[in-house]
Amino acid sequence: MSTVAMEQRKKIHPHKFTLWVGIGSLLMMFAGLTSAYIVKRNQANWQSFDLPQFFWYSTLAIIASSVTIYLAEKAFKQREMKKYRSLVTATLVLGVLFIVFQLLGFQQLWAKQITLTGNVSYSFMYVIVGLHAAHVVGGLIALIVLFAKAFSTKTRIYNSVPVELVSTYWHFVDVLWIYLLIFLIMIK
Amino acid sequence: MSSVATLHHADVHGSHDAHHEHHHHETFITKYVFSQDHKMIAKQFLVTGIIWAIIGGLFSVVFRFQLGYPESTFPWMEDIFGHWAAGGKLKPEFYYALVTMHGTILVFFVLTAGLSGTFANFLIPLQVGARDMASPMLNMLSYWFFFLASVIMFASLFIQTGPASGGWTIYPPLSALGDASSGAKLGMDFWLVSMAMFIVSSLLGGLNYITTILNMRTKGMSMTRLPLTVWALFFTAVLGVLSFPVLLSGAILLLFDRNLGTSFYLSDIVVAGKILPNEGGSAILFQHLFWFLGHPEVYIILLPAMGMSSEIISVNSRKPIFGYMAMVGSIFAIAILAFLVWAHHMFVTGLNPFLGSVFVLLTLLIAVPSAIKVFNWLTTLWRANIRFTPAMLFAIGFVSLFISGGLTGIFLGNSALDLHLHDTYFVVAHFHIVMGVASFFGMFAGVYHWFPKMFGRYLNNTLAYIHFWVTIVGAYLIFWPMHYQGLSGMPRRYYDFSGWTSFNMFSGLNEFISFVALIVFCVQLLFVFNFFYSMFKGRKVTDSNPWGSNTLEWTTPINPGHGNWPGEIPEVYRGAYDYAKDGKEFIPQNTPVGDDESTHH
């Protein structure tokens, strides 16, 4: 077994690799939506609009949460569990804040008559931003699991793979949001 | 820091290996129902796929009755379908529902889940030398999402307004407006929910297949030593993982249009005298999103059949596959081109002719890798010492159908010819031969070849030969005449042709096609009987390598447990196709290279 195990050890962990392939798959979904957006934009009746201020606050929140989860992963690997716990908590709070700001942003838009069933451009924005938010909520659920495990006194965890998986996914939704934000600003 | 991380990895793998050394107690539930063993999950996919194939096949027989005997009535239809066949004659609405469900069931539930789900699950870990998939848990979920999708789709057959009836391609506005037809009501909602579950299932499966192939190969199993089945299943999974999400995004927009009043696909529509408020949408947008999945989907269906046929043809020719690297390269080329040709389904939508000509060029390019594969199969068969096992016959039948159906693809890929042939029976004939029946042949070949590994018993050969000959002759008798019908302009999806003088001359031919379809369907039931009978009563396998094959699945015990190999995983020293080398009939992959062996291996 030793030789086979040695060979395995050099490779990336299968679960991490699965996540990367899954990220590729999710990217294709957003690529589908954004290319549909580009195609539609060149047709008649397209109305451009400005993104709400709250989307900028949510951007700050998610960038900050990416930093905290990076530090949390580092703290976990150095076995500084106290630091790890507070950093996971911070990430969770920032993640929730992101969602709250997104909802406030939607409210702002709605108040300006930019509604889901208005112009096609509005509908696209709601679907794309909403679908991204759904993926952030998925990440939040994973973060809650990490959070619960970090504060559980019954078990001590040494396996860093789950932490690394959540961290990679969280960076992904962060980068995806920045891409979508730039996309929605540049192409309207 | 990183050393700590690596240590943890070693822990994970250490405990994983230890886990397989003792036999853990399995209950009926964990062994047969919520199993995480890839072999059991494969069988679950196969049996579910067979049930769907019977339903989907039966639907085609029923609507062929309508096409073949448009003037007659069949009282038994009323007994089965109730008001949908009042007086023994199918209602037009129900005819469309049957056609839609036939397409949906066979394309997605049988030839995607039933084919890839079965053989990717069964063969990948066994042939790359892994104890199980990268994530057995996700693999189990993949089956149960498929099961859920199946239950919802099956339930939709019993809705009062009928199942979805807008065609398996669910083009809006028919699919987006509940008032458009009876099948566009609840049936369409069930269809969309079921397909969302199905997409989740195929993504979870695909992630696992890719990771297992790239990450879990045994020592010595380099990528260029992989059997061609694994290569084909790998590219199938890549196509699925990259194209299904795009269908999902298209379906999400459709759900918004259906239920939340958006106008992604809808504009200027009048239904039943009522002007709808939707404006600014484009129905063609959906077609782009749909066919971006839809075309790769064709190869998702076809590639596993190609891979299995390559393996089975080489084993039963007792010769190495001709041009292994060319085979891998051509699958790769097909996988790339699959993403670049979707608009050839849309030549008649008002596509810019210049853009159309680009898609013509890219479409015709597929002929190159396809031809490479065909020549390699034929040269493998050339002067071979062929064993005509049922699996081999079906594999050769696959090659035959792939050639016949592929050639008509060249006609359809030309936009100028497609303007005439689009939506005629020529298209029906083309894709049924090249994608439908050909992939079924690949699936049958796989079942006959690997049945001994799946169940430790053989299928009955006499029934298998009857199954093969009736099916191949029947397939050509059904679909060959349709080319002529299509060339003369007979449109597909029509309920009744008897009202057109121009198509009246085909009434005898239609009757003949329907009659053959009924016979071929009955012979498939013979296969189903053979399958389930042999599972329990078939001749027992006594030789762990009954076909004299090189690949690793035959190094496991006759009835392998969870974990596949009782001892260590075998190490691999050579490629999968060392047949008839140095005077030896076959040299399994786990045989070390001898001193007296010639260098080419």
Nearest Cα residue in chain B from A1? B568
Nearest Cα residue in chain A from B6? A9
Interval B563-580 mean pLDDT: 94
Q: What count of Cα atoms within 13 Å lies in the side-chain half-sphere of residue B271?
A: 14
**pLDDT surpassing 50 at residue B404:** yes
* Residue A22 sits at the chain B interface (C-beta within 8 Å): yes
- Of A6-20, A85-99, A126-140, B240-254, give the lowest mean pLDDT range: A6-20
The predicted structure's pLDDT at residue A156: 76
The predicted structure's pLDDT at residue B13: 42
How far is it, in rounded angstroms, from Cα B111 to Cα B338? 17
How far is it, in rounded angstroms, from Cα A131 to Cα A27? 12
Neighbouring CB atoms inside 10 A of B278's CB total 21
How far is it, in rounded angstroms, from Cα B384 to Cα B319? 7
The predicted structure's pLDDT at residue B408: 95
Exposure pattern of B362-389 as b/e (b: 16+ CB <10 Å)? bbebbeebbebbbebbeebbeebeeeeb
CB contact under 8 A, B289 and A36: yes
Whether residue B304 is preceded by a cis peptide bond, meaning omega within 30 degrees of 0, is: no
The predicted structure's pLDDT at residue B8: 40
Find out whether B561 and B35 touch, Cβ atoms under 8 Å.
Answer: no
Query: Looking at chain A from residue 149 to 178, which residues have their Cβ under 8 Å from any Cβ of chain B?
Result: 158-161
Find out whether B308 and B376 touch, Cβ atoms under 8 Å.
Answer: no
DSSP string, B13-36: HHHHHHHHHS-----HIIIIIS--
Interval B152-178 mean pLDDT: 93
User: If pLDDT is split at 50, 70 and 90, which confidence band does B20 have?
Assistant: very low
**Residue B383 belongs to what H/E stretch?**
none
* Residue B92 sits at the chain A interface (C-beta within 8 Å): no
- What is the amino acid identity at position B590? N
Strand runs labelled E in B15-128: none
- Of A149-158, B362-371, B432-441, B514-523, give the lowest mean pLDDT range: A149-158
Contacts of A135 in chain B (CB under 8 A): none
How far is it, in rounded angstroms, from Cα B366 to Cα B343? 14
From residue B225, give the alpha-carbon distance in Å to each of B221, B277, B357, B584. 6, 60, 39, 19
Find out whether B262 and A123 touch, Cβ atoms under 8 Å.
Answer: yes
Maximum pairwise Cα distance, chain B: 85
Residue B514: φ, ψ to 5°: -65, -40
- What is the amino acid identity at position A6? M
* Residue A56 sits at the chain B interface (C-beta within 8 Å): no
Q: What is the mean pLDDT of chain B?
A: 92
CB contact under 8 A, A18 and B211: yes
DSSP string, B339-388: TT-GGGG-GGGT--HHHHHHHHHHHHHTHHHHHHHHHHHHHHHTT-----
Find out whether B538 and B455 touch, Cβ atoms under 8 Å.
Answer: yes
Q: What is the mean pLDDT of chain A?
A: 90
**pLDDT surpassing 90 at residue B57:** yes
Contacts of B338 in chain A (CB under 8 A): none
**pLDDT surpassing 80 at residue B335:** yes
Of the candidates B4, B242, B279, the beta carbon closest to that of A24 is on: B242
Sign of the four-CA dihedral B408, B411, B414, B419: negative
Two structure tokens written together for B455? 């169940």
Give me the interface pTM, i.e. the ipTM. Answer: 0.90
Two structure tokens written together for B391? 């699996």
CA angle A90, A95, A98 (to 5 degrees): 130
- Hey, what domains does chain A have and what are their CATH numbers? 15-186 (1.20.120.80)
Give ranges for CATH 1.20.210.10 in chain B: 32-260
The predicted structure's pLDDT at residue B22: 45
Interval B441-460 mean pLDDT: 97
Share of chain B above pLDDT 90, in %: 84
User: If pLDDT is split at 50, 70 and 90, which confidence band does B600 have?
Assistant: low
Q: Is B47 helix (H, G, I), strand (E, B) or coil?
A: helix
**pLDDT surpassing 50 at residue B477:** yes
From residue B175, give the alpha-carbon distance in Å to each of B102, B170, B255, B403. 17, 6, 10, 35
Q: What count of Cα atoms within 13 Å lies in the side-chain half-sphere of residue B230?
A: 28
Dihedral, CA atoms, B301, B305, B308, B314, nearest 10 degrees? Answer: -150
User: If pLDDT is split at 50, 70 and 90, which confidence band does A5 have?
Assistant: very low
Residue B586: φ, ψ to 5°: -155, 150
Of the candidates A22, A40, A131, the beta carbon closest to that of B282 is on: A40
pTM of the model: 0.92
Summarised one tens digit per residue, pLDDT across range B281-327 is 889 999 999 999 899 999 999 999 999 999 999 999 999 999 999 99
* Residue A127 sits at the chain B interface (C-beta within 8 Å): yes
How far is it, in rounded angstroms, from Cα B377 to Cα A94? 59
Interval A88-108 mean pLDDT: 96
Interval A3-27 mean pLDDT: 77
Contacts of A4 in chain B (CB under 8 A): 218-219, 568-569
How far is it, in rounded angstroms, from Cα B504 to Cα A104? 65
From residue A132, give the alpha-carbon distance in Å to each of A27, A125, A129, A181. 11, 11, 5, 11
Contacts of A70 in chain B (CB under 8 A): none
Query: Looking at chain A from residue 80 to 109, which residues have their Cβ under 8 Å from any Cβ of chain B?
Result: none
Pairing of strands B270-271, B274-275: antiparallel
**pLDDT surpassing 90 at residue A118:** no
Q: Which has the closest alpha carbon to B556: B572, B573, B547, B568?
A: B568
* Residue A186 sits at the chain B interface (C-beta within 8 Å): no
Summarised one tens digit per residue, pLDDT across range B36-56 is 999 999 999 999 999 999 999
CA angle A78, A89, A149 (to 5 degrees): 70
Two structure tokens written together for B293? 């999945």
Residues with Cβ within 8 Å of A43's Cβ and at least 6 positions away in sequence, in order, are B280, B282
Find out whether B288 and B239 touch, Cβ atoms under 8 Å.
Answer: no
The predicted structure's pLDDT at residue B271: 83
Nearest Cα residue in chain B from A116? B262
Question: How many residues does this entry show for chain A?
Answer: 188
B32-260 belongs to which homologous superfamily?
Answer: Cytochrome c oxidase-like, subunit I domain (1.20.210.10)
Contacts of A17 in chain B (CB under 8 A): 134, 211, 214-215
- What is the amino acid identity at position A119? N
How far is it, in rounded angstroms, from Cα A40 to Cα A38? 5
CB contact under 8 A, B285 and A40: yes
**pLDDT surpassing 50 at residue B110:** yes
Summarised one tens digit per residue, pLDDT across range B480-506 is 999 999 999 999 999 999 888 899 999
Question: How many residues does this entry show for chain B?
Answer: 601
Q: Which residue has better confidence, B282 or B444?
A: B444
Q: Which has the closest alpha carbon to A75: A87, A67, A91?
A: A87
At which residue do the structure tokens 């199980």 appear?
Answer: B132
- Of A100-104, B430-434, B591-595, give the lowest mean pLDDT range: B591-595
Residues with Cβ within 8 Å of A174's Cβ and at least 6 positions away in sequence, in order, are A62, A63, A65, A66
Residues with Cβ within 8 Å of A179's Cβ and at least 6 positions away in sequence, in order, are none
The predicted structure's pLDDT at residue B595: 82
CB contact under 8 A, B246 and A78: no
DSSP secondary structure code for residue B209 in this structure: H
Distance from CA of A11 to the nearest CA of B (A): 7
CB contact under 8 A, A14 and B12: no
Distance from CA of B127 to the nearest CA of A (A): 16
Two structure tokens written together for B113? 């889940």
Summarised one tens digit per residue, pLDDT across range B202-229 is 999 999 999 999 999 999 999 999 999 9
CB contact under 8 A, B249 and A33: yes
Residue A33: φ, ψ to 5°: -70, -45
Residue B446: φ, ψ to 5°: -60, -45
* Residue B18 sits at the chain A interface (C-beta within 8 Å): no
| H helices present in chain A, as ranges | 2-10, 14-41, 53-77, 81-111, 120-151, 161-186
The predicted structure's pLDDT at residue B23: 52
